[in-house]
Structure 1
C-alpha cells in the first residue's frame, strides 16, 4: 500500500499504470511526471514509463491490508481507458467488493466508457465513483456518471481551468475542487471556487477544497475565505477514520 499525500484519500492502489491524454486537464499530468521519474530511478513497475500497463500481480493487494483505509484506485492511470479490457475492470471491482472494510475511490475522465460499461458492473456499496471536470466544456461527464449505479457519486473539479456556473448536482454526493500544481501550473480564480462552493451549499452537497495549487502549492495552501473546507459524504468514514456527525463536517 502506498500512503498518499492527496488530501481526500489515505492510500493508493494501482493495478494499472500509464495513460493517454484526452482533454485540457491532462496537459500537465502529475502522474506522467511521476511515472517517468520512477522509471529513471529503476522502479520495475514503471519500466514502461507512462505507457498503459496492467499489473495483475497487485490485484489482490487490498485484501492483505487489514486496517480500513480510504483508497484511491489508479492514481497513476484511468481504469476506464479504452485499452483496459472489461474482464480486468470487473476483476478490480471484484477485489473491491471482497475488501469490504475499505472505501475505494475511482476517478475517470472516460465518462462515456464508464456509462457504457456501468450496466455490466456489479457496484459494491464501498466504491465511490467520480468523474473529472476541468471546465464547462466537459460537464457532460457528470450526466454519464449519473447513469451509473454507484453508491456514492463524486466530482473532481481539478485542475479547475474555468468557471462552472449552473452545475447540475442532482444525484451527486460530493464535490472536490483544486487548482493545478507543478512547474507549469495554470492559474485558478477565487471567484470560480466560491461560486462552486455556493452551488454546493445551496444543493446540500458536501464540498472539499483541496488546494489553490501553483508552482509551489505549499505556499498557496488550502484556505478558502479563512478556513479549510473538508466536507465528506454522510455516513461514511472520513480520512481520519471517524464518522462525520452530519453531511456538513467542515473544519
Structure 2
C-alpha cells in the first residue's frame, strides 16, 4: 500500500484487498502471511485479523492520488481473484484502473480459473464505471504464479485464454524445472507471435527458503531469449531477498514487455 516498492519489477504497491490462503506449494512460506500473522490479535493494528481476507474500500481510490505515472503491483498482500472477494468489488478495482490510464497495473494470481471466467464475461465488463479505454484494459498486465511444471500446465493455458493486453508469469519461488516452450511462439519451430509477453524468475527468501538450481533459471532465460519474450531475473533468494544477489551468468536481466515503450516505462 505504498507509493514506493522495493520489488525490483514494480514501483508501487496497491492493496484494495489483504489476506489470502494457501493453494499450492509456492504458498508454503508466504512472506505476506508471515508478516500479517505477526500482528493477529493486536488491538487496532491494520492486521489485527492476521491474514484473513479483508476488503479495504478505503484504499480503492489511492491510485487517483498519485500524480506521477508508475508501475503498480496490485494486491501484493492478497489475491484479487480469491473466492471471498465479491465480483462487484473486483469490478470496482478494475474501474479505478480504467480511470487511471497513466499507471500500468501488474496483477498476479494463483486463482487462474476464476480470473479467466470473470474477465471473459460481458456482464463483468458492463459493471465497469469507466469504459472509455476499451477491453481488455491496455494498462493492465495479467499474470499467474508458476512455481513448478504442474502449476505451469494448470495456469498458463488459463492465462492465455483470458483477455489481457499483456500476459506474464512470476516463476517465484521457482521450486523445480519449468519448461514453457509449448506456450512460447506457438511452440518450437514456429514463427507465430508469442503468447506470453514477460517471464519473471526468482528464488525463495526467508529462514525456510528452498533453494533454486541455477540451471532452472538458465533454462527459462534461454527459452525466453529464443522466443523473443522479455525475461526478468529478480533474485536468487536465501535468508533474505538480497542474500544471493541478482546476477545470472555475470549480469542482471531486467527486460520488460514491449508495452514498456510508453513514456511511463521507458524512463
1:96–1:138 distance in 2 versus 1, CA, 3 Å: same
1:131–1:210 distance in 2 versus 1, CA, 3 Å: same
Q: Pick one of 109, 130, 148 that aligns with 2:162.
A: 148
Please list, as runs of the form range in 1=range in 2, the aligned pairs for 1:228-247 lying within 5 A after superposition.
228-236=252-260, 241-243=264-266
Please list, as runs of the form range in 1=range in 2, the aligned pairs for 1:96-245 lying within 5 A after superposition.
96-120=97-121, 121-122=124-125, 123-139=136-152, 140-167=154-181, 168-169=183-184, 170-236=194-260, 241-243=264-266
Deviations 1:185-233 (A, max 9, x none): 0010000000000000111000000000011332310000000000001
Tell me what 1:248 maps to. Answer: none
How far is 1:234 from its partner?
1.1
Tell me what 2:68 maps to. Answer: 67
Query: Relative to structure 2, which stretch is displaced further, 30-39 or 156-165?
Result: 30-39
Moved over 3 A (4+): 37-44
Deviations 1:100-141 (A, max 9, x none): 110000000000111111213443110010000000111120
For the residues of structure 2 that align with 1:13 and 1:39, how far apart are their CA atoms?
Answer: 21
Structure 2: give runs of 5+ residues left out of the alignment.
126-135, 185-193
Matched, 1:24 2:25: yes
How far is 1:28 from its partner?
0.2
Between structure 1 and structure 2, the one with the greater Rg is 2
1:221–1:43 distance in 2 versus 1, CA, 3 Å: farther
1:72–1:237 distance in 2 versus 1, CA, 3 Å: farther
Partner-residue secondary structure (3-state), 1:128: strand
1:95–1:128 distance in 2 versus 1, CA, 3 Å: same
Tell whether the 8 Å contact from 2:102 to 2:264 is kept in structure 1 after alignment: no
Tell me what 2:191 maps to. Answer: none
For the residues of structure 1 that align with 2:100 and 2:254, how far apart are their CA atoms?
Answer: 26
For the residues of structure 2 that align with 1:221 and 1:241, how far apart are their CA atoms?
Answer: 27
Tell me what 2:132 maps to. Answer: none
For the residues of structure 1 that align with 2:180 and 2:58, how far apart are their CA atoms?
Answer: 44
Please list, as runs of the form range in 1=range in 2, the aligned pairs for 1:73-84 lying within 5 A after superposition.
73-84=74-85
Deviations 1:2-42 (A, max 9, x none): 12100000110000000010000000000101212355776
1:237–1:12 distance in 2 versus 1, CA, 3 Å: farther
1:38–1:97 distance in 2 versus 1, CA, 3 Å: farther
For the residues of structure 2 that align with 1:209 and 1:43, how far apart are their CA atoms?
Answer: 38
Structure 1: give runs of 5+ residues left out of the alignment.
245-251
For the residues of structure 1 that align with 2:179 and 2:137, how far apart are their CA atoms?
Answer: 32
Partner-residue secondary structure (3-state), 1:45: coil
Tell me what 2:9 maps to. Answer: 8
Partner-residue secondary structure (3-state), 1:105: strand
Tell whether the 8 Å contact from 1:235 to 1:243 is kept in structure 2 after alignment: no
1:208–1:97 distance in 2 versus 1, CA, 3 Å: same
